[in-house]
Chains A and B, each alone.
Chain A
């Protein structure tokens, strides 16, 4: 037994030494395990061909991405040189010293003009309006809708709909129309349901769905600059928005209490729902005829407006930041300089990444490239984000706690739910001394 232990120790030591020496000319980017990460790996292979620096995109499942990243930050670790972080991490990344300040980089390369303004504000800037930048927008994303175009275009359905509701059946222009359409297509005896929405409350799924409804009803989550939430998160408009979301839940398939991007996509591929919400990053699966038998009949539209004309989409997407504990910050900077080149951004878009470059996004070529790119472009012009403060995770948890019983279990009223959020969020902000009085 003693010999095996010595052997093990020796092997371990050797492996450790080898692993460390091999990292001389290497960069590691950390992201979540999904197709865009694979596209990124293909893209950075070009960089390796040009410069000889090996760039590895290391991934982990979405559910563990935040945990592993912040674990590494907590240990001030050097495992990752760059991280493609969620927009909500900007607050923590910047104020807690995990991200390298990229403001100068932005000025030098005139990135404020090169990228779509919403993406700069959402994926790079913190605090809002400060013109201080901590990431380069890498993967643009927003929440949008997929729908069964073939059901909508069926003449029989069109006649029946016009008769019942008095206007033409088509892509909903506002939430009232979306509700009508959901009700119209909700036919449990046919195993067809009206709509599929996010309801998973393990992290930020249900929050994304609710926030864009609230935004489109003219409501706000609070005043981001002053942290004031009282009277804002539970304003009349916000309450109406939440009620609208709860109303939509009535038309979801049975057992729809834990739905996120996978379930919502399945709602379309399994022919369950007429409309389904999801982040654009997941729509390629729906446009692919092999994974979606209804691909030819599937269309896409951006989040509809609310009764007052307010029109927003929830911001998703990530930006790439340099980890301040990395030992290769200069090499990472060089990599980013290559990344922001127009030619690189173009290739990134072609490979399948959702580039944030203004020129490319606005081009007809991009907008016509896939069935969902046009809706994606429209959405990126009107994206709005959740709180990006360092304590955003606590805010999310408290939001989930009050929203879920109301939306899924029908307990209480929308006003009560949002009043509860108001109380919890105010307490949290007080705890972190956000109210400088």
Chain B
């Protein structure tokens, strides 16, 4: 199905590519800046003009994973010499690592990161699964009060978390869900469902009913038709929904802060908390943010082909 491109179209294509490259650079510049700051020594973090070329170091990442305080007096030579290479980097930065009985204390970052993974993956799976089947139900069957039900689903996302937080907290406290992974998972699933249902319905509506009718004629059950036809056809929708739900759950701040304490808290409330010793440690925050970006970026990258596949928009129309 090769389409012959006219010269005019080919020039348009080239211009488009150039524009895309330019836009990509502009959009990504801040992100590159954050990622590069994660490898800078602290003194170069806020220079004007921004430092583009520098000798990278991994001190910010060491700082990210350890619990530290400022040095009130210079460290004595004996302690410094006896310390391992990474601890010396911390001393060089004017801080010392907190120790409990001689063992360096880990910061809360690894624990929070793990919590984020658990909560985000679970709630995304649930939101996408429930959303898809509900969207299918609304799309293919006649439901009494459908527009109202759909609008109700939409409205669950309208209240700012601020307001829902107190009653949610009281409710969770009653059932013992405060500071638990399950509590956050349920919350995020409920929050993402509205988007999941609406988006999947948007995609499923575009898949012609004729495909399933044909399958039913051939002897498939409704459930099999759903699994064998609708799911693959709407894989773009599923991928897009999964990406968005994951991003939302991954970066959620308000409920993560309010509903959890030190057991189940996720990373977003933790990363900005590197502020507090009187000076912003941009390099450590950048390191934390860059690392935190990786899972989401990888997840999206793996789904990229599905995202771009598209759906057979009304290919068979009456």
**Which residues does A use to contact B, with CB under 8 Å?**
1, 4, 8-9, 11-12, 15-16, 19, 32-35, 38-39, 41-42, 45, 56, 58-62, 64, 67-68, 71, 74-75, 77, 79, 261-262, 265-266, 269-270, 278, 281-286, 288-293, 352, 370
Docked-complex contact B166 and A74, CB < 8 angstroms? yes
Q: Which residue of B lies closest to A30 (CB)?
A: B261
**Which residues does B use to contact A, with CB under 8 Å?**
42-43, 46, 67-72, 92-95, 98, 100, 122, 125, 129, 165-166, 169-170, 173, 176-183, 185, 257-258, 261-263, 269, 272-273, 275-280
Q: Which residue of B lies closest to A80 (CB)?
A: B261
Q: With a CB–CB cut-off of 8 A, which chain B residues contact A293?
A: 43
Q: Which residue of B lies closest to A34 (CB)?
A: B276
Q: How far is the CB of B192 from chain A (nearest CB, A)?
A: 16
Instruction: Kindly identify which residue among A11, A38, A370 contacts B182, using a CB–CB cutoff of 8 Å.
Output: A11
Complex: A286 Cα to B277 Cα, angstroms: 10
Complex: A60 Cα to B70 Cα, angstroms: 18
Q: Which residue of B lies closest to A286 (CB)?
A: B278
Docked-complex contact A8 and B279, CB < 8 angstroms? no
Docked-complex contact B173 and A75, CB < 8 angstroms? yes
Instruction: Kindly identify which residue among B93, B170, B262 contacts A290, using a CB–CB cutoff of 8 Å.
Output: B93
Complex: A56 Cα to B67 Cα, angstroms: 14
Docked-complex contact B279 and A370, CB < 8 angstroms? no
Docked-complex contact A262 and B261, CB < 8 angstroms? no
Q: Which residue of A lies closest to B172 (CB)?
A: A75
Q: How far is the CB of B127 from chain A (nearest CB, A)?
A: 12
Q: With a CB–CB cut-off of 8 A, which chain B residues contact A77?
A: 173, 178
Docked-complex contact A71 and B169, CB < 8 angstroms? yes
Instruction: Kindly identify which residue among A12, A62, A289 contacts B180, using a CB–CB cutoff of 8 Å.
Output: A12
Instruction: Kindly identify which residue among A9, A261, A370 contacts B278, using a CB–CB cutoff of 8 Å.
Output: A261
Q: Given the known A-B contacts A77-B173, A284-B70, are A15 and B180 also in contact in the complex, defined by CB atoms under 8 Å?
A: yes
Docked-complex contact A61 and B269, CB < 8 angstroms? yes
Q: Which residue of B lies closest to A76 (CB)?
A: B173
Docked-complex contact A12 and B182, CB < 8 angstroms? yes
Complex: A33 Cα to B177 Cα, angstroms: 25
Q: With a CB–CB cut-off of 8 A, which chain A residues contact B71?
A: 288, 290
Docked-complex contact A71 and B278, CB < 8 angstroms? no
Q: How far is the CB of A422 from chain B (nearest CB, A)?
A: 30
Q: With a CB–CB cut-off of 8 A, which chain B residues contact A1?
A: 129
Docked-complex contact B276 and A62, CB < 8 angstroms? yes
Docked-complex contact A35 and B279, CB < 8 angstroms? no
Docked-complex contact B261 and A285, CB < 8 angstroms? no
Docked-complex contact B263 and A19, CB < 8 angstroms? yes
Instruction: Kindly identify which residue among A19, A34, A42, A45 contacts B277, using a CB–CB cutoff of 8 Å.
Output: A34
Q: Which residue of B lies closest to A285 (CB)?
A: B278
Q: How far is the CB of A251 from chain B (nearest CB, A)?
A: 21
Q: Which residue of B lies closest to A78 (CB)?
A: B173
Jot down 16 A-B pairs with beta carbons below 8 A, ordered by A. Answer: A12-B182, A15-B263, A16-B180, A38-B67, A38-B98, A39-B69, A68-B257, A74-B169, A266-B280, A282-B277, A284-B70, A285-B278, A288-B70, A291-B70, A291-B94, A352-B69
Docked-complex contact B278 and A58, CB < 8 angstroms? no
Complex: A282 Cα to B279 Cα, angstroms: 8
Q: How far is the CB of A231 from chain B (nearest CB, A)?
A: 38
Complex: A31 Cα to B292 Cα, angstroms: 26
Q: Given the known A-B contacts A38-B98, A288-B70, are A265 and B279 also in contact in the complex, defined by CB atoms under 8 Å?
A: yes
Docked-complex contact B98 and A42, CB < 8 angstroms? yes
8 cross-chain pairs, A with B, having the tightest CB-CB distances, nearest first: A290-B94, A12-B182, A282-B278, A285-B278, A34-B276, A61-B273, A38-B69, A285-B279
Instruction: Kindly identify which residue among B166, B262, B278, B280 contacts A281, using a CB–CB cutoff of 8 Å.
Output: B278
Q: How far is the CB of B131 from chain A (nearest CB, A)?
A: 13
Instruction: Kindly identify which residue among B42, B69, B177, B180 contacts A291, using a CB–CB cutoff of 8 Å.
Output: B42
